[in-house]
Amino acid sequence: MASNPKVSVIVPVYNVEPYLRRCLDSLVNQTLKDIEIICINDCSSDNSLAILKEYAERDERINIIDFKENQGVSVARNAGIEIAKGEYIGLVDSDDYVDLDFYEKLHEKAKETDADMVKASLKKKTVDRIKEYSYLASIKKSKYYNELYHWCYIYRLNFLKKNQINYPKGIRFSEDAVFLVKSLFYSNKIEIVDNVFYHYILREYGAATSNIGEVICNAYGMSLVFDFMNKAVKDRNEYEDFFCNIFVSNLLIFFAGVAPEYRKNHAYIMADIYRNRLYQVALKNIPEFLNESDFENADILLKKLNDNIDLLRYPKIQTDNFQNRKLYIWGAGADGVGALAQCDNNGWEIEAFLDSNPQIREFQGYKILPPNSLLNSASRDFFIIISSRLYANEIAKICEQAGLKEGMDFWKPC
């Protein structure tokens, strides 16, 4: 192995015996050979360490750090970054894996553009499902409004060390959001590669996020994200774009996944974050049952959220009005995946996705059409499923202005 590899891949490992070989196979067989693979065994009690040693015996590029006490994923990743020798670093969770040309394509883009960060696309599936859903790489109008998937990037190592970017110790949920938001803020250039994928395997039981309520009480990173942004982001427009989108999508909607006994704590976190915001920005696209003033009082907020908990979960698509009509999903994002999964489960075939972002050329294997191409057509032989919860009301107004009727021509989540 070269003394200064092109990419150092950091892999924290904790009790992932059923998944570890697939992860390591995807790394040792990378088309970019000039890499090092730093695996941090965080005191696993299963056979994970034995598997790491087996692979290290066959491949000198694997370097094992063996913790004698469990220290958590933040400390593990930081330990890997500390000894990394690569020009860039990559991050892979040990139950996930990457395309075989993942690091070659990202590194080529990084060298071609001199970028601090390069972002790949994502495929996600639950551990008990076969079908994967894709999230294509894109850079939004504000660099702070990006999906908080830290493993989809490579990062210039000197850039991380210069800006003292690492993972917060003791944080066990959203520690990756703290790392990524700081990286996005300090980066001079972010590039994308949209034809290579990180494969994220969502383990619904037994993963680090399964006991999410207790973790939010004791080791939640999103408060640190907003603390950092309050100190660092001085541009009001950028701050408002970040705050509104991240607050709603990562805090408010997430409330529905918290166990009942921990919801009070989560409501108080949201109220504190809202009251302590840097600018008096207005929240956008909050559910209709909430007033913005509700976020000033945690007890009122908690009651309204508990009373309307079902409205925070992605609703069941209920409509019978698209028989013999072409079906479209408006919104090529995370909620679009949720809508598509329901269509797949119900055996509903869709024609295409609608999205106004010109950077998105295809989604989940379907073509993307600009919404106006459908709304301005003479034919009305279509039915639209509006997928986005954040922008449902805005999109519904556009549909109504085009002469469409809710329930008859389109459906939107409440």
Flag whether pLDDT at 286 surpasses 90.
no
Q: Does residue 403 contact residue 378 with C-beta atoms inside 8 Å?
A: no
Residues 147 and 83 in one domain: yes
The arithmetic mean of pLDDT across residues 193-206, rounded, is 77
Flag whether 317 is in a domain.
Answer: no
The answer to whether residue 321 is domain-embedded is no
Backbone angles phi, psi at 202, to 5 degrees: -90, 110
Residues 300 and 365 in one domain: no
Q: What is the CATH number of the domain that holds 168?
A: 3.90.550.10
* Structural domains counted in the chain: 3
For residues 392 and 315, the answer to whether their CB atoms sit within 8 Å is: no
| Final residue belonging to a domain, choices 174, 202, 230 | 202
Do 113 and 149 lie in one domain? The reply is: yes
Do 180 and 49 fall within a single domain?
Answer: yes
- Residues 276 and 239 placed together within one structural domain of the fold: yes
Q: Is residue 318 part of a domain?
A: no
User: Whole-angstrom Cα distance, residue 234 to residue 211?
Assistant: 36
- 36 and 130 share one domain: yes
| Cα–Cα distance measured from residue 104 to residue 290, given in angstroms and rounded to the nearest whole number | 47
In a domain, 125, yes or no: yes
**How far apart are alpha carbons 96 and 124 in whole angstroms?**
10
Among 168, 166, 28, 178, residue whose Cα is nearest residue 103: 28
How far apart CA 39 and CA 79 sit, in angstroms, is 10
What does residue 299 show for φ and ψ, rounded to 5 degrees?
-70, -40
Confidence of residue 87 (pLDDT cuts 50, 70, 90): very high
Assign 364 a pLDDT band (cuts: 50, 70, 90). Answer: confident
- Assess if residue 95 is contained within a domain: yes
- Evaluate the CA torsion angle 89, 93, 95, 96 in order and state its sign: negative
Secondary structure of residue 227 in the 3-state scheme: helix
Cross-strand bridge partners of residue 156: 88
Residue type at 275 in one-letter notation: R
Q: Do residues 193 and 72 share a domain?
A: yes
Angle at 159 (CA atoms; ends 174, 103), nearest 5 degrees: 75
Domain assignment present for residue 167? The answer is yes
SS3 for 240?
helix
Is pLDDT at 338 greater than 90 in this prediction?
no
Note whether 16 and 75 are same-domain residues: yes
Together in a domain, 292 and 339? no
Task: State the Cα–Cα distance between residues 311 and 290, nearest whole angstrom.
Answer: 11
- φ and ψ at 114, to 5 degrees? 55, 45
Vertex 126: Cα angle to 182 and 257 (nearest 5)? 65
Cβ neighbours around 3 below 10 Å, total: 6
For residues 271 and 396, membership in a common domain is answered with: no
pLDDT (mean) for 85-109:
97
Q: How far apart are CA 144 and CA 91, in angstroms?
A: 20
Final residue belonging to a domain, choices 184, 202, 220:
202
Token look-up 């917060």 returns: 168
Q: Using an 8 Å Cβ cutoff, are 272 and 302 in contact? A: no
Percent of the chain residues past pLDDT 90, beyond the cut? 59
Continuous segment of H or E residues that includes residue 9: strand 7-13
13 and 121 both lie in a single domain: yes
Kindly state the helix (H) or strand (E) to which residue 149 belongs, with its residue range: none
Please, which pLDDT band fits residue 206 given cuts at 50, 70 and 90? Answer: very low
Which H or E run includes 82?
Answer: helix 73-83
- 293-304 mean pLDDT: 95
pLDDT band at 1 (very low <50, low <70, confident <90, very high): low
Predicted local confidence at residue 379, as pLDDT: 86
CA distance readout (Å), 15 to 5, 20, 53, 123, 142: 28, 9, 15, 23, 38
Cβ pair 384, 369 in contact under 8 A: no
Binning pLDDT at 50, 70 and 90, where does residue 201 land?
Answer: confident
Residues spanned by the domain of 308: 212-312
How many other β-carbons are positioned within 10 Å of the β-carbon of residue 114?
10
In a domain, 84, yes or no: yes
- 296 inside domain: yes
> The domain spanning residue 345 has which CATH number?
3.40.50.720
Query: Is residue 332 very low, low, confident or very high in pLDDT (cuts 50, 70, 90)?
Result: confident
Phi/psi at 385 (5° precision)? -100, 115
| Per-residue confidence (pLDDT) for residue 258, from 0 to 100 | 80
Question: Helix H segments across 211-333?
Answer: 212-218, 222-232, 236-247, 263-275, 298-307, 309-312
What residues are paired with 91 via a beta bridge? 10
Residues 35 and 141 in one domain: yes
Give 205's pLDDT tier (boundaries 50, 70, 90).
very low
Out of 312, 341, 372, pick the residue that ends a domain. 312
Mean pLDDT of 134-145: 61
